[in-house]
Amino acid sequence: MSATASSETILHGLLDLSQGWYIWPDREAGWRNDTLHLPGTFDLAELQQRAPTGGWSVLDQKAANGEAAHACLPATVEQYFWGRWGKTRLSSREYFFAKNDPLDENGIYYGVSWFWHDFELPVDWTGRTFELHVPAARLRAEVFLNEQLIGYDVIGETPFSCDATAAVRLGARNRLAIRITNPGGRLDWCDFHDRAGADEPPTALALVWGEQILPLSHGFGGLDSGIELRATGPSRIVDIFFRNRADAGTADIDVQLSGDATCRCILRPCSDETVIWRNELITRECKASFEVRDAAVALWSPLSPTLYELTVECLVGNTVSDRRSVKVGFRWFTVTGIGDRAMFRINGKRIRLRSAISWNYWPGSGLFPSETALKAEIKAVRELGFNTLTAHRNIANARAIAAADRAGLLRWQEPGAGRAAWTGASAFERGYMREKIARMIRRDRNSPSHVVVGIQNEQVEESALDPAVRDILEMVRATDPTRIVVLKSGFAGAENVPEDMRHYADQQAYVLPGDPSYHHDRGDGWSGWWDNHTVGGPGVWQDWIYRSPQDFSHASDNRSEIVFWGEVLGSGSPDPLDCTASTGWQSDREELLRKGYDDFLGRRGWRPFFADHAALSREVAVRSAHFWARVIGNMRISDNVDGFALSGWESEPFEQHTGIVDLYRRPKAPPTEIARANRALQLVIKPRGLVHATSTRVIVDVYLVNDCGVSGSGILQLSAGAQEVAKRSVTISGGEVYAELLLEGIEILVGGPGYLGLHSGATFQDTELTATEDIFIVDWRSGPDIAATILEEGCNLASFLREIGVAPVQLFRAPVIVIQGRQALTQAIIDYAENGGRLVILADGSAETKHWARQFQNTGILPNRGTLGPAMASWTGSWYIAGEDSAVFAGLPSRCALGWEYQADPRGAGAWFAPDQLGRFADGLLLDNDDAQVLVVYGRDHQPELAAAMVRIPIGKGELLFSSIAGLYSSLSGTANGVHPDIARKWVRNLLTVQVDTPFGHPHANRC
């Protein structure tokens, strides 16, 4: 409600135009050679006014004959017409890995489309000025009202406005028609175009439109919801800036009007209509500034996201010429202690950021979230326990920022392609990016949730003192001096960066709220802001990730700088799609995956293990959730770590499958594990290794994560199974010490094989804390007798057999022949198997798997269509899933994803994705033989087929047992090279002792 006096006349009016639109792709319209115009560089009256192909009347014809889609905003052409006229192969301009992973799945509509909506205006809205506000469009938007061009914009996904006064019709039908042109764009993460491959043209990654190159962005064409027609009197509100101050609970309000008038500000809680503060001033030079002091306000924070409605009215005499309301929150977010004890603070209290990176892809439209998806995102964030989300390499949606304001979710935002503001190929590209950054800042500067602006992710190699670089940070600070602005995320310290990325190392710069300094790298890698990326990694927990309190991944002893782990590792899993048919750009890919997985389960007899695609996919996601929870634990037990961003938040159809949630923002696994790791106050049990051989000693450490600042003393207890192994009196520091080691080096002698549960408990200030952790014990030293002939290119098998007291047997004198490496499958060996012998073949990596696929094709003993292809980067995802066989999995988990017990990295030794390393990455056979029993499945990224990574098949009276598990053979050396060494030894021992007459698929109780 307004505080407007009853004697005042109201001229302000607002019409929401989000509902009732039509969309029609105008495939005959020309666009490819158009000249583009940046804001402020053109006269609208001089631009060519292009009607739809066939004239304006064609729009009604297309609506009537069904060629136009009926839609509500937000909407994109791809939401309704994805692949309608066929699909093409994804190129490097859409998909970074297109050369390695050919996909004929590009359904982007390139070109012109029309979005139109009819509405009426009251006849009594005479004498007013009309402004059309468009929250976001992509890419070029030519705005027509009643066939008159009233606006033009090319700055994608940012707000702009048009003067509609001359074109409106009062008391009659009005038609708003927006001509959207989509030149294409990305369907993955990439936001830079100057790193084409050596065998590609320089513009292979670029978004090229005629003679111009545009900064990269997502490849959809459409409109966001919230398009409004605003009616005002002679003076209107141009801008409102609610500027929080360092003295939390106070603020300045800057208002800009189109003409001098009286400006009135009214502040109320969003929860009721009580006016807690009001003031009014007569503007000078169309500006007014207000100070909010001594108002009884509650502070905004993640734990208490109190919002207020700030209403600004523009009065000319007794006429309310314009009125606008914005949601605001009182809070101060900054960094203190640079050079001494650096930390983030909100409202004076230390805070550590728990985030994941979001590429800002959405179901349906691809580009803009529905209200259902926004609610699902907030629900998932709460369930999983994060307090921050990072908009990564693409601008966040304004409605997603508003949802974060309401929910108490902090937002870190990158505009995407930020470095183009100073490295762009032309003045046009540089100007484009500068304008996009400025619009993003103005759009979100009233948001209490938006706390950090990151200009570019990783790809910055220019000096932080380069005037063009500094100019961008200073421009942002001038536009909004209340935000933290960071030049880049990633690659702090050349020693922490892969060799081929070291030109991006260091060169950090940043500005802080209320601080006039320009902070930057001193030339030795120290800037006060340390942000490093570890994207990649094994995708599954491996014991090297935590070795001891002095040696664990993602820790830090750096107190003098902000320590932020951006893009933390990666662990891909397929989305557990339900059977509900979806609509939009993602629906075709989802149907392919669902059908491919379900066909495999039925054909291979795996439905008793996993009922459908969703069940199998969820099992892989559980593996990932276990991994993420323990990696989060590592970062949180290191008190110097100020925050992290997991890689990543949502999955999408073509590349990022490492999301914790799916495209619809549903957690891919039950949220329990990750939510527990994100708790503000908790005990954390850290065994020095989760997998151990029988009769060995396990060393355990116990930490406290204490983001609440609780202090005091208590009794800490640690048990292994039913046995108490430690009990200590401990004192916790509390205050701003958010993590500390409570128990160190507790030794536990483990006995027989299986799972052993660890439990810890303590009570501090009447708060009872408990923690649990499982370890897995495996017995590889004992078992049935082994008699085997070894044919290997290496020496790991022979060494392993010697270790357990077994001597290899001469060829054809033993019941088993074990072959490793790229050897020939001779007729004599095949005859041996057909007469009752067993062949065990261990292929270690993709190169050897491809070799054996050809051998099997040539000999006909295992018909196949080749291999699925090697695992790629961990964020694209690859996984193994175990079936069931009592002999093969004796003493090992089965009917589950190969998770922390196996520690099986599909990339072998866990190397960074690179084409020259693909030969040792995982792969699997695409079988044509229905007689084969698939023991382990290999799947990867978005491929709709599942391959056999371990298979058992009869050959005459004997059988073949083939494995392509990457690292299984290598890890027999005792060093983890893709599989935990103790697991590798146990598993290979099982393979060597399986009897030919053992029934396939015999049920047993071992299960993850």
pLDDT in tens, 563-620: 999 999 999 999 887 756 578 999 999 999 999 999 999 999 999 999 999 999 999 9
Tokens (6 digits) for 435:
């304008």
Pairing of strands 947-955, 816-820: unpaired
Q: How many helices (H) and strands (E) does the chain have?
A: 14, 58
Tokens of 100: 């390695």
Where in the chain do CATH 2.60.120.260 domains reside? 10-230
Instruction: Determine contact, residues 329/300, Cβ cutoff 8 Å.
Output: yes
Spatial contact of 987 and 867, defined as CB atoms under 8 Å apart: no
Cα dihedral sign, 244-245-246-249: negative
Cβ contact 266:295 at 8 Å = no
Rounded to an integer, what distance in angstroms lies between the CA atom of residue 492 and that of residue 520? 12
DSSP annotation string for 582-622: P-STTHHHHHHHHHHHHHHHHHTT-TTT-SSHHHHHHHHHH
Nearest to 164 by CA among 224, 232, 239, 117: 232
Domain with CATH 2.60.40.10 in the chain: 235-328, 695-778
**Residues 36-46, mean pLDDT to the nearest whole number:** 97
Question: What pLDDT score does 561 carry?
Answer: 97
CB distance 832 to 900 below 8 Å: no
Q: What is the 3-state secondary structure (H, E, C) of 932-994?
A: CEEEEEEEECCCCCCEEEEEEEEECCEEEEEECCCCCCHHHHCCCCCCCHHHHHHHHHHHHHC
Give the H or E element holding residue 162: strand 160-163
- Token pair for 118: 């009819």
- pLDDT per position as a tens digit, 74-113: 999 999 999 999 999 999 999 988 888 889 999 999 999 9
Mean pLDDT score, 112-137: 96
- Cα–Cα distance, 531 to 518 (Å, whole number): 17
CATH 2.60.40.10 at 235-328, yes or no = yes
| Whether the predicted pLDDT of 482 surpasses 80 | yes
Confidence band (pLDDT; 50, 70, 90) for 1008? very low
Helices assigned H by DSSP within 364-483:
371-384, 398-407, 420-423, 427-444, 467-479
Instruction: Specify the DSSP class assigned to residue 211.
Output: T
- The dotted CATH code for 788-993 is 3.40.50
Going from the C-alpha of 94 to that of each of 91, 138, 220, the distances in angstroms are 6, 16, 11
Res 730 pLDDT > 50: yes
- The boundaries of every CATH 3.40.50 domain in the chain are 788-993
Q: What are the structure tokens assigned to 1005, written together?
A: 């109780």
pLDDT in tens, 335-362: 999 999 999 999 999 999 999 999 999 9
Q: Tell me the backbone φ, ψ of residue 800, rounded to 5 degrees.
A: -60, -45
Q: State which amino acid sits at residue 158.
A: T
First to last CA, the chain: 58
Q: Which of 441, 409, 403, 413 is nearest to 241 (CA)?
A: 441
**505 Cβ neighbours under 8 A, 6+ residues apart:** 491, 492, 493, 494, 496, 497, 525
Q: Which CATH superfamily is domain 695-778 in?
A: Immunoglobulins (2.60.40.10)
Query: Would you give the distance in Å from CA 125 to the centre of its chain?
Result: 47
Give pLDDT, residue 875: 83
Give the span between the Cα atoms of 476 and 243, in whole angstroms.
Answer: 14
Task: Give 929's pLDDT tier (boundaries 50, 70, 90).
Answer: confident
Taking the C-alpha atoms of residue 714 and residue 1003, their distance in angstroms, rounded to an integer, is 47
Dihedral of CA 878/884/887/890: which sign?
positive
Which pLDDT band, with edges at 50, 70 and 90, does 1 fall under?
Answer: very low
Least confident of 242-251, 456-465, 993-1002: 993-1002
Domain covering 10-230, topology? Jelly Rolls (2.60.120)
The SS3 call for residue 122 is coil
Per-residue pLDDT, 1007: 34
Residue 775's pLDDT is 98
- How long, in residues, is the chain? 1008
The pair of three-digit structure tokens given for residue 593, joined into one six-digit string: 């995956």
Which range, of 12-21, 44-53, 143-152, 870-879, averages the lowest pLDDT?
Answer: 870-879
16 touches 228 (CB < 8 A) = yes
pLDDT per residue as tens digits for the range 759-816: 999 999 889 999 999 999 999 999 999 999 999 999 999 999 999 999 989 999 999 9
pLDDT digits (tens, 9 = 90+) for 657-676: 999 999 999 999 999 999 99
Model pLDDT, residue 216: 96
The per-residue pLDDT for 912 is 53
Tell me the pTM: 0.96
In Å, how far are 105, 188, 326, 404 from 223, measured between CA atoms?
23, 20, 22, 21
Q: Is the pLDDT of residue 995 over 80?
A: no
Q: How many CB atoms lie within 10 A of CB 706?
A: 25
Whole-angstrom Cα distance, residue 894 to residue 892?
6
Residue 688 per-residue DSSP state: S
Evaluate if residue 28 carries a pLDDT over 70: yes
Q: What is the rounded average pLDDT of the residues 943-952?
A: 96
* Interhelix angle 796-803/981-993, nearest 10 degrees: 90
> Residue 827: in which H helix or E strand, if any?
helix 827-834
Number of CB atoms found within 10 A of residue 930's CB = 9
Q: DSSP of 341-363, one letter per residue?
A: S-EEEETTEEE-EEEEEE---BT
What's residue 997's pLDDT? 57
CA distance 516 to 474: 10
Residue among 379, 436, 385 at smallest CA distance from 403: 379
